[in-house]
Copies of this chain bind each other. A is one copy, B any other.
Amino acid sequence: MSQKEEYTVAIVDDHSLFAGSLEKLINSFDNFRVLFHAKNGQELQQILLKENKIPDVILLDINMPVMDGFETAEWLTKNYRQIKILALSMEDDEHTILKMLRKGAKGYLLKDIHPEILNVALQELVDRGYYHSDKVSETLLHSLNPDENGSILDFKENELTFIQLACSEMTYKEIAEIMNLSPKTIDGYRQDLFRRLKIKNRVGLVIFALKKNLIKI
Contact = CB atoms under 8 A, between A and B. Distances in A.
Interface of A: 14-18, 20-25, 28, 88, 90, 109, 111-115, 117-118, 166-169, 171, 199-204, 206-207, 210-211, 217
Most B CB within 10 A of own CB, among A14, A17, A169, A211: A17
Contacts of A199: 169
A207 B167 contact: yes
Contacts of A210: 210, 217
A16 B207 contact: no
Contacts of A22: 17, 21
A43 B203 CA distance: 36
Closest 6 CB pairs of A and B: A20-B115, A24-B24, A21-B21, A21-B25, A169-B200, A15-B112
- How many copies of the polypeptide does the oligomer hold? 2
A169 B24 contact: no
Contact of A24 (B14, B25, B88, B113): B25
Most B CB within 10 A of own CB, among A22, A109, A167, A204: A22
A169 B203 contact: yes
Contacts of A206: 203, 206-207
Contacts of A202: 202-203
A109 B16 CA distance: 12
15 contacts: A14-B112, A16-B114, A16-B115, A17-B88, A17-B115, A20-B115, A21-B21, A21-B23, A21-B24, A167-B203, A168-B207, A169-B199, A169-B200, A169-B207, A171-B201
A16 B18 CA distance: 12
Contacts of A200: 169
B17 A113 contact: yes
A118 B17 contact: yes
Contact of A20 (B25, B109, B211): B25
A18 B20 contact: no
A18 B111 contact: yes
Most B CB within 10 A of own CB, among A18, A23, A169: A18
A28 B23 CA distance: 12
